[in-house]
A and B are shown apart, each in its own frame.
Chain A
């Protein structure tokens, strides 16, 4: 039972080769390539952190390391750019979007994998086709939609049928996507039928089977969906820029962008701001990175 459920790609398997002394220089070359790559990948992060602790003078003269770390840059940036508010906004937006995303994609992924209903494959194909559509096309009608210009949208009377500057505008469009459904469906489809037969004999319906048997087996793909969802929601920029004209629900990315345009030459503050926006992303990534990278590798591949 374990076997078909385990991630099938051998990420940790290497080409079995015997170590030969005369291949030393080859290995040295391999490490050189890898270290060079890592250096280029990490250098901007190093620079971001280092510059965020400098004085203005130091950033202009491009020192590599600040003489005395200026921790108060973070406090200044945090206060000047109203990051406290934006940060909280982003957290709420991300959590709400993720909850919705999990709910819709687990149910849909399960149905597309394990329930037979008329038009199933057609609906699935149409959903997948939406992945190809550029945001430029959907952005304009969606903006009108969220503004309530096409149909009045549900909400408190004070919103007057519009979601502009309101939480749903920033969350609802992110609550479902074809990619997450596809990813989960690919996993659910591999769950052996015997489990379902046994569950049905015990009188379980689809919902109970899904909650009690399927979900506990599916931690890895769910983590992948969550992490991708997190990246999407936390890093979202274009859409929030359009639908937040006031700072009521303005997320961190738009806040940082506004700050970039306002703070001008105060590089050290910008860098501190950038670090603040990146840290939550990094924490989530370090916590989930193993399942996440393997999730991408396996699902990104076997279409």
Chain B
């Protein structure tokens, strides 16, 4: 408790030792449990991933499990190189903006070229991996990306809208806040029971009645493995650019419904911490509502937005319950995001070692995403 003093000479005093021991004693129950069920498993998952381990431990097989998932190491190398190239493009563009030179057009063209090249390299690497890799696992990754990109931005935008509306002088603010939060606390299995009937393919289901109001014919929703874009525009796209299946879109809507309220509550707190004097000053200077939202609220809220985006993004890459309970066989695996696929490998096919390798690959992807997100958006955050 004497943190502010200059370093005392190192002496063993009973009272210090007692203080230290008390500290260790106090943290030991929590540290023990978290080490056992949170830390140890990471090391052990690595260990399992290099064995041929189906229910019982088999032979050591090096990186075979990883190779089975990825397919082609060269492919992976090319794939990653493509992303690095994208990073270079981003860096070039940032530097060009900073130096504010008059060659912006030239640099712009160069960046565009780099991006195109990166896109080509990425798809080449990906194609190589798909050739020999585990299709089910590899395809679960873009599905995870669809889920993340489908839920996070929509979730944050809606939450900001609701929080901003709640923040005006309105009656019943706490009542609204309470209602918005309900979906978040509801068990996924229970809300899935409801959403499975809402998004059922019956003509009388709630969504089909709703789109019927706009003259759209009944859809199969959760049971529809075809990409949404193809259904809407009659196109015949395939692969990544076809986008998520309609079943996946239904699950995305379910995810958005669940998490909007949580984000609203945190946005609302963020709005509350913006000093009201700023708004008054802006009003005196003649700013309208949109201008003060754009130039005061958004920048000052950016740390909150960044925090929420980070949490939500990692969350979607880990998401399991909300997808697993909405999955029906008719969706033909178009909703099997990475965590669901890993669960199947582990629980259904009993390939423990291989599932561990898949999980560790997912872990690396999440870490990479976190770093990238920190790098790109962390810089843009305004901390006042």
Q: Report A's interface with B, CB cutoff 8 A.
A: 9-17, 19, 26-27, 30-31, 33-34, 37-38, 40-42, 44-45, 47-48, 51, 59-62, 103-105, 107-108, 110-112, 114-118, 120, 123, 126-127, 130, 132-145, 150, 172-173, 175-178, 181, 193, 196-197, 205-207, 231, 234-235, 237-238, 242, 253, 256-257, 260, 267, 270-271, 273-275, 277-278, 281-282, 285-286, 289-290, 293-294, 296-298, 300-301, 303
> Which one, A176, A237, A267, A289, contacts B30 given CB within 8 A?
A176
- B196 proximity list for chain A (CB < 8 A): 260
CB distance from B360 to the nearest CB of A (A): 6
Query: CB within 8 Å of A: which of B8-63?
Result: 19-20, 22-24, 26-27, 29-31, 33-34, 36-42, 44-45, 48
The 23 sampled A-B contact pairs (Cβ below 8 Å) are A12-B173, A14-B169, A19-B169, A30-B168, A33-B162, A37-B176, A111-B22, A111-B26, A116-B1, A117-B22, A134-B362, A136-B359, A138-B37, A139-B359, A172-B33, A175-B29, A238-B343, A253-B190, A260-B196, A271-B193, A285-B185, A298-B269, A301-B266
Binds A, one of B91-99, B198-206, B218-226: B198-206
> Which one, B189, B265, B355, contacts A256 given CB within 8 A?
B189
Q: Is the CB of B31 within 8 A of A123?
A: yes
CB distance from A179 to the nearest CB of B (A): 11
Q: Verify if B65 is at the interface (C-beta below 8 Å from A).
A: no
Query: CB within 8 Å of A: which of B160-198?
Result: 161-162, 165-170, 173-174, 176-183, 185-198
CB distance from B207 to the nearest CB of A (A): 11
- A115 proximity list for chain B (CB < 8 A): 19, 22-23, 26
CB-based closest 10 A-B pairs: A117-B23, A297-B269, A111-B26, A141-B41, A108-B30, A141-B44, A176-B33, A115-B23, A138-B41, A104-B30
Q: Is the CB of A137 within 8 A of B272?
A: no
Q: Give per-residue flags for B265-277: 1 if the beta carbon is below 8 A from chain A beta carbons, else 0.
A: 1101110110010
By secondary structure, the A interface counts as: helix
Binds A, one of B101-109, B145-153, B319-327: B319-327
> Which one, A137, A193, A273, contacts B362 given CB within 8 A?
A137
CB distance from B256 to the nearest CB of A (A): 10
Q: Given contact pairs A44-B195, A104-B33, A140-B48, enumerate 9 new A-B contacts (beta carbons under 8 Å).
A: A34-B176, A42-B179, A44-B257, A48-B194, A140-B41, A140-B45, A145-B40, A300-B266, A301-B266
Q: How far is the CA of A114 from the CA of B22 in the complex (A)?
A: 11
Q: How far is the CA of A47 from the CA of B198 in the complex (A)?
A: 9
Q: Verify if B90 is at the interface (C-beta below 8 Å from A).
A: no
> Which one, B23, B193, B279, B358, contacts A260 given CB within 8 A?
B193
- B183 proximity list for chain A (CB < 8 A): 41, 44
Most buried by A among B45, B185, B321: B185
Q: Is the CB of A253 within 8 A of B265?
A: no
Closest residue of A by beta carbon distance from B363:
A137
Q: Is the CB of B1 within 8 A of A138?
A: no
Q: Is the CB of A15 within 8 A of B168?
A: yes
- A297 proximity list for chain B (CB < 8 A): 265-266, 268-269
Q: Is the CB of B187 within 8 A of A234?
A: yes
- A175 proximity list for chain B (CB < 8 A): 29, 33
Q: Is the CB of B189 within 8 A of A257?
A: yes
- A111 proximity list for chain B (CB < 8 A): 22-23, 26-27
Q: How far is the CA of A15 from the CA of B167 in the complex (A)?
A: 7
Q: Verify if B307 is at the interface (C-beta below 8 Å from A).
A: yes
> Which one, A27, A140, A271, contacts B352 given CB within 8 A?
A140
Q: Is the CB of B193 within 8 A of A16?
A: no
- A14 proximity list for chain B (CB < 8 A): 167-170, 173
Q: Is the CB of B266 within 8 A of A235?
A: no
- A301 proximity list for chain B (CB < 8 A): 266, 269-270, 273, 304, 307
**A278 and B190 in contact, given A117-B23, A237-B321 (Cβ under 8 angstroms):** yes
Q: Is the CB of B188 within 8 A of A235?
A: yes
Q: Verify if B3 is at the interface (C-beta below 8 Å from A).
A: yes
Tell me the total A-B contact number using a CB cutoff of 8 A. Answer: 306
Q: How far is the CA of A47 from the CA of B27 in the complex (A)?
A: 46
> Which one, B257, B324, B338, contacts A40 given CB within 8 A?
B257
- B3 proximity list for chain A (CB < 8 A): 116
Q: Is the CB of A136 within 8 A of B342?
A: yes
**A41 and B182 in contact, given A120-B23, A127-B31, A301-B304 (Cβ under 8 angstroms):** yes
Q: How far is the CA of A47 from the CA of B321 in the complex (A)?
A: 21
Q: How far is the CA of A112 from the CA of B279 in the complex (A)?
A: 39
Q: How far is the CA of A138 from the CA of B320 in the complex (A)?
A: 14
Q: Verify if B347 is at the interface (C-beta below 8 Å from A).
A: yes
> Which one, A41, A48, A275, contacts B180 given CB within 8 A?
A41
Q: Is the CB of B187 within 8 A of A253?
A: yes
Q: Is the CB of B178 within 8 A of A289?
A: yes
Q: Is the CB of A141 within 8 A of B266?
A: no
> Which one, B193, B272, B352, B362, contacts A11 given CB within 8 A?
B272
Q: How far is the CA of A187 from the CA of B304 in the complex (A)?
A: 20
> Which one, B190, B320, B343, contacts A274 given CB within 8 A?
B190
**A281 and B187 in contact, given A107-B27, A134-B362, A134-B366 (Cβ under 8 angstroms):** yes
> Which one, A13, A31, A181, A237, contacts B272 given CB within 8 A?
A13
Q: Verify if B356 is at the interface (C-beta below 8 Å from A).
A: yes
CB distance from B74 to the nearest CB of A (A): 26
Q: Verify if B317 is at the interface (C-beta below 8 Å from A).
A: yes
Q: How far is the CA of A172 from the CA of B38 in the complex (A)?
A: 12
- B37 proximity list for chain A (CB < 8 A): 138, 142, 145, 172-173
Q: How far is the CA of A231 from the CA of B262 in the complex (A)?
A: 13
Q: Is the CB of B30 within 8 A of A107?
A: yes
Closest residue of B by beta carbon distance from A267:
B197
Closest residue of A by beta carbon distance from B57:
A149
